[in-house]
Amino acid sequence: MRAYISVDLEGMPFIVSVEHLSVGKALYEEARKIATELVLTVAKTLKNEGFDEIVVADSHGPMVNVKIENLPEYVELIRGFPRPTSMIVDVEGSDAVLFLGYHAKAKTLRATFDHTYSGSLIRSVKINGIEVSEYLLNAYYAGHFGVPVILVAGDAKLLEDVEKFTPWAEKVVFKKAFSRYSAKSPSLKSLKKELEDSIKNAVSKLKRGEVKALKADAPVTIEVSFVSSGYADVTSLLPGSERLDGVTVKYTAKNIIEAYKVLELWVFAGAGVKSIVVK
C-alpha cells in the first residue's frame, strides 16, 4: 500500500513566531526539528500498519523543511518549489493521504497563521461557492483520484472544518491558539503517542471501508479574493477569467485539477506584480 503525507509548518505544535517559518530566521531550525520528528513518527507507524511505500511531500514555503538525515529507506521525499499542484503533487496512485501541520483558512478567529495558500496575496479561495482551507483544497484534489483523507493533524480551528467535510478522518490537535501568534501545545511525547494511536484507528477504518474520497462536483468554479486590486488586475487577464469586483476573480474549470493549476498560476502572477511594485 502507498501512503502520502503532505507536511505544512504553520500548524505544527509550538510554531507561533514568524521566526519559525523562513530559511535563515532565528527559530527556523527548531521548526524543522519539530516537523521532522513528527514526520518520522507518522512514517514509522504507517510502515508498521502495512504501508510499504510512503511519500512525504514537504509543502511549506521553499519546501525544503523536513530534515533528510534520519529518513528511513521506505520513505520518498518530495522537496522544492515551485512544483505542479504544490502541496499535493504526485498523490495519484496512493491508497490514503494524511495532512500534517496544517493550519486554518484565512480570516479564522484564534488560529495561528491563518491564511489560504498565500497570506500576502489572498483573502479567500472558494471552490464551488465553498470557502476552502488548504486542507479542503488538497482533499478535493486527492479525491479526484479516489484517494481518501484518513488523518489531519494541526491547528484546532482547522479540525472544525475536518469534522464538517471529512468526518471519517482522524483528527489530532497540535495546538489551540489564543491569537495569530500564540498557542498552547501538548508535549511532543504525548503528541507522538496520539499520532500513533490515531493512525492505527485511521488505517483500521480504511481497511473496513469506512473512509471515502472527497470529490468536488465538476465543472469546478474557483473564486479568489485578493488583498489588492492590483493582483486581480493581472490574474483576470487569463482567458476565461471573470472579474467579479475590484479584488475578486472567478474561473470555471473542467475539474479540480484544472482549478488547482489556475490557482497556482494566479498566485505566481500576483507574486510577480508584488515583486515589481513593492520595494
Q: Does domain 2-115+133-207 have CATH number 3.40.50.10780?
A: yes
Q: Are 149 and 166 in contact (CB under 8 A)?
A: yes
Q: Are 249 and 269 in contact (CB under 8 A)?
A: no
pLDDT band for position 72 (cuts 50, 70, 90): very high
Residue 35: name the closest of 4, 3, 58, 62 by CA. 58
- What is this structure's pTM? 0.97
Average pLDDT over residues 221-226: 98
Quote the pLDDT of residue 279.
52
CATH number belonging to the domain at 220-277, selected among 3.40.50.11030, 3.30.1360.130, 3.40.50.970, 3.40.47.40: 3.30.1360.130
| pLDDT more than 90, % of the chain | 98
Average pLDDT over residues 23-49: 98
Locate the domains of the chain by residue range.
2-115+133-207, 220-277
Quote the pLDDT of residue 277.
85
CA 219, 162, 11 angle in degrees (round to 5)? 110
pLDDT band for position 259 (cuts 50, 70, 90): very high
What span, in angstroms and rounded, lies between the C-alpha atoms of 44 and 71?
A: 10
User: Residue 77 pLDDT > 80, yes or no?
Assistant: yes
| pLDDT more than 70, % of the chain | 99
Residue range 89-116, pLDDT digits in tens: 999 999 999 999 999 999 999 999 999 9
Mean pLDDT of the chain: 97
CA dist list (Å): 135 to 61, 139, 161 = 16, 6, 9
User: Residue 11 pLDDT > 70, yes or no?
Assistant: yes
Residue range 144-182, pLDDT digits in tens: 999 999 999 999 999 999 999 999 999 999 999 999 999
